[in-house]
Amino acid sequence: MVMDTIQIRLSHGLVDRIDDLVNTGIYANRSDAIRDGVRRLILDKQIGSIPNAGDSVKEVRKIRAKLSKEKFDLDEINKLAE
Residue 60 within any structural domain of the chain:
yes
Residue 55 within any structural domain of the chain:
yes
Residue 40 within any structural domain of the chain:
yes
- Report whether 65 contacts 59 (CB < 8 A): no
Q: How many domains does the chain have?
A: 1
Residue 26 sits in which domain range? 12-79
For the segment 23-71, what is each residue's pLDDT rounded down to a tens digit? 999 999 999 999 999 988 888 777 666 566 667 777 778 877 777 777 7
Residue 33 within any structural domain of the chain:
yes
> What whole-number distance in Å separates Cα of residue 70 and Cα of residue 57?
20
Residue 1 within any structural domain of the chain:
no
**Confidence band of 17 (pLDDT split at 50, 70, 90):** very high
- Report whether 72 contacts 81 (CB < 8 A): no
Residue 32 within any structural domain of the chain:
yes
Residue 2 within any structural domain of the chain:
no
CA neighbours within 13 Å on the CB side: how many for 55? 4
User: For residue 11, what pLDDT is reported?
Assistant: 94
Question: Whole-model pTM?
Answer: 0.55
